[in-house]
Chain A
Amino acid sequence: MSQLIALRIRMEVLEWSGAWWFLLTLVVQAVLGPLIGMFIWSAVYPADSYVATYYVALLLVTVMTESFEQHTFSEKIYDGTISHELLRPQPVVINTIGTNLAIRIWMAAMGIPVALLAGFAFGVSLTWTAVLSAVPAFVLGATLTFCWTFLLSLTAFWTERVHSIVGFGWTLNTLLGGTIAPLAFLPGPLRDIGQVLPFYGMLGLPADVAAGRVHGLAPVLTGLAYQAGWLTVIITCAVLLWRAGIRRYTVVGA
């Protein structure tokens, strides 16, 4: 299976190379939120170096974990081309994962220079130890983002309004994931709730760890545990929704 995913990534990287300008527009859209947040909160707390460090880390996390399954997967349900994939002797999700990773590779290649530029402009210095310690949270966060978007995209089996649904999910992510405001700046109860919800694990937690805001092993492990818990819940929901959706697709008309 890993060989098929690797091959799929290679194919998709090649395929998307023909649409680098489109990927550039996606990168621009992805970096806008963190950059706006950085400008606003830097104005509010000009002396706090955490703001710029956090938002540069968040920018990196955002461009490297963006997911577009409402386009890459749901559209195949709408135009019926998912039938081709259903007839292949491999799980359909392999192609979706391959496409997701290929787009992320391209977006990272285009987004990292933007992050470096922003870091240089704001005098940000990320430490290697902090960045490395953020890797587990980043990997789980990236997986969580994919699974969440894929889960919402599965609603395409029932509705043609999948873009609105995924858009709503994106809004929740932006509000509660740490883009509009770092979770540390939210009022107490809201901050506590935010830390438990999956959205912080997708964006804010890896960025906070990379920015050196999370001190000690215990809070990192707690964050990882929340991520793993939400991952289990979302994957279970996705499997159930996939089974129901594919049954509907094959009963109503492929």
Chain B
Amino acid sequence: MTAVVVEDLYMTYRAPIRGSGWKETLSSVFNRRYREVPAVQNVSFALAPGEVVGFIGPNGAGKTTTMKILSGLLHATSGHVRVLGYSPWQRRSDFLRRIAFIRGSQPVGGSQELTVLDTLQYQRLLYDVPPADYRRNLDELTELLDLKDLLQRQLRALSLGEKMRAGLALSLLYRPEVMFLDEPTLGLDVTGATTMRRFVAGYAERAGATVLLTSHYMADVASLCPRLVLIDKGKVQYDGQLDQLAAKLSPYKLLRLTAPNADEERLKEAGEVVEASNGTWVLRVPREEVARTTARLLTELEVADLAVEEAPLEAVIDRAYREGVG
């Protein structure tokens, strides 16, 4: 049983082109020319019910296009897509009642003059949420998203972070089974982003919802998504566990140790010194040598503190974008 199935998906945009100058401009009136822009090429993946998956890639990789196809906003050029057993592009009412597509750039649509509570009540009618469920869900969302002070305020008067919280409440009021989150922490401050992450993780766990998330913030991916689908130039470059990608692309780990009396030359023998300040050193050590090097450092030096860290996810993903997964 799968919640989302994507097979051999292609999406090609047709963009008008024209040369510069008078002659080209006039000739384009009678002879329009177009260029085919492939946005998604041969993309395939599947999501199991309850799975939370990061869908990442550089700008223009095809993430949002794929999300729009999955939610029914775009009609794919070719390929097979099923979400909860439906063809998304048909946008059937019973399909739309079971999914949510939330965009960080436009978290809340519709009338901006209305209060959050008015909009939630409209949402209740629109999605046929029974009154008892509505009250229970609203109470829960109000508490989890700290909405109490927002309910009586107009949407247009909310800050971006508040709009995102209101947008989440509007989308989750009807308990969608599949959520497509496109840059949900875009523009949020640290507290807002943390609240959002905690909430999404909690919702996915409680409701058993399937979540596909795009984000340029690796903290979102690291904290929410055990599995990663990496896409670039419209093609899937990697589909697997996040930690396996990190191991594959970064054959090193970082040893962070505090040893005020350590000699730099001796540390260089243990690994590449990438950072040094006030007696704290960060060494880059091949994965297979971490245990041996750690034991050696603890024996030979007076170590006050030592921690073994993965390379920053940003560095791993950056390398994947630049050099490919291979």
Chain A residue numbers with a CB within 8 Å of B122 are: 7-8, 11
Complex: how many Å from CA A170 to CA B103? Answer: 37
B73 near A252: Cβ-Cβ < 8 Å = no
Nearest CB to that of A19 among chain B residues?
A: B113
- A3 adjacent to chain B (CB < 8 Å): yes
Tell me whether B73 and A254 are in contact (CB under 8 A).
yes
Q: Which residues of A does B touch, CB under 8 Å?
A: 3-4, 7-8, 11-12, 14-15, 18, 80-81, 83-90, 95, 247, 250-254
- From residue A35, how far is it (CB to closest CB) to chain B in Å? 31
Q: Smallest Cβ distance from A98 to chain B, in angstroms? A: 10
Whether the pair B111, A251 counts as a contact (CB closer than 8 A) is: no
In the assembled complex, how far is the CB of residue B109 from the closest CB belonging to chain A, in whole angstroms? Answer: 3
For the complex, what is the distance from the CA of A248 to the CA of B34, rounded to whole Å?
A: 15
Please give, as numbers and ranges, the residues of chain A lying within 8 Å of B75 by CB-CB distance: 247, 250-251
Which of A15, A83, A250, A253 is within 8 Å of B89, CB to CB? A250
- Could you tell me if B73 and A15 are in contact, using CB atoms closer than 8 angstroms? no
Which B residues touch A89, using CB under 8 A? 93-94, 96-97, 126-127
Q: Do A90 and B73 form a contact, CB below 8 Å, given A250-B89, A252-B13, A252-B14?
A: no
B73 near A87 (CB under 8 angstroms)?
A: yes
Closest to B105 in A: A80
Does B216 lie at the interface of the complex (its beta carbon under 8 Å from any beta carbon of A)?
no
From known contacts A81-B106, A252-B13, A253-B13, infer whether A87 and B111 are also in contact, taking CB-CB under 8 Å.
no
A-B CB contact pairs (8 Å), 19 listed: A3-B125, A4-B125, A7-B122, A7-B125, A11-B111, A14-B113, A15-B111, A81-B106, A81-B109, A83-B73, A86-B72, A87-B72, A88-B96, A247-B75, A250-B75, A251-B74, A252-B13, A253-B65, A254-B68
Residues of B within 8 A of A85 (CB): 109-110
B55 at the interface (CB under 8 A from A): no
CB proximity of B190 to chain A, nearest CB, Å:
28
Q: Which secondary structure characterizes the binding site on chain A?
A: helix
In whole Å, how far is A242's beta carbon from the nearest beta carbon of chain B? Answer: 13
* B91: Cβ under 8 A from any A Cβ: yes
Q: Other CB < 8 Å A-B pairs besides A89-B96, A250-B73, 19 of them?
A: A3-B125, A7-B122, A8-B122, A11-B114, A11-B118, A12-B111, A83-B109, A84-B109, A85-B109, A85-B110, A87-B72, A87-B73, A87-B91, A88-B126, A89-B126, A250-B75, A251-B75, A252-B13, A253-B13
Q: Which residue of A lies closest to B154 (CB)?
A: A18
Specify the chain A residue showing the minimal Cβ separation from B171. A87
Given contacts A81-B106, A85-B109, whether A14 and B118 have CB atoms under 8 Å apart is yes
- By the criterion CB–CB under 8 Å, are A86 and B91 in contact? yes
Cβ of B119 to closest chain A Cβ, rounded Å:
8
Number of interface residues of B (CB under 8 A): 29
B98's nearest neighbour on chain A, judged by CB, is A89
Chain A residue nearest in CB terms to B97: A89
User: Residues of A contacting B96 with CB < 8 Å?
Assistant: 87-89
Residues of B within 8 A of A247 (CB): 75
Q: Closest 9 interchain pairs by CB?
A: A84-B109, A89-B93, A15-B113, A254-B73, A89-B96, A250-B75, A15-B111, A89-B97, A250-B74
**A85 CA to B94 CA, complexed, in Å:** 15
Residues 69-107 of chain B, each 1 if its beta carbon lies under 8 Å from chain A, else 0: 001111101000000000001010110110001000010
Q: Which one of A83, A90, A252 contacts B93 once the chains associate, using CB atoms below 8 Å?
A: A90
CB distance B13 to A90 under 8 Å? no
Interface residues of B in 105-164 (CB under 8 A from A): 106, 109-114, 118, 122, 125-127
Interchain CB contact under 8 A, B110 and A84: yes
Tell me the bound Cα distance from A11 to B112 in angstroms: 10
Could you give, for residues 56-73 of chain B, a 1 whenever the CB lies within 8 Å of some chain A CB and a 0 otherwise? 000000000100100111
Contact with A along B26-52 (1 / 0, CB 8 A): 000000000000000000000000000
Chain B residues whose C-beta falls within 8 Å of the C-beta of A3 in the assembled complex: 125
**Closest chain A residue to B111 by CB distance?**
A15
Chain B neighbourhood of A15, CB < 8 A: 111-114
Cα A4 to Cα B77 with chains together (Å): 34
Residue of B nearest to A82 (CB): B109
Q: Report the Cα distance A191→B13, complex, angstroms.
A: 49
* B99 shortest CB reach to chain A, Å: 8
> Which single residue of chain B is at the shortest CB-CB distance from A90?
B126
Bound complex: CA of A81 vs CA of B110, how far in Å? 8
In the assembled complex, the CB of B116 is this many whole angstroms from the nearest CB of chain A, namely 13
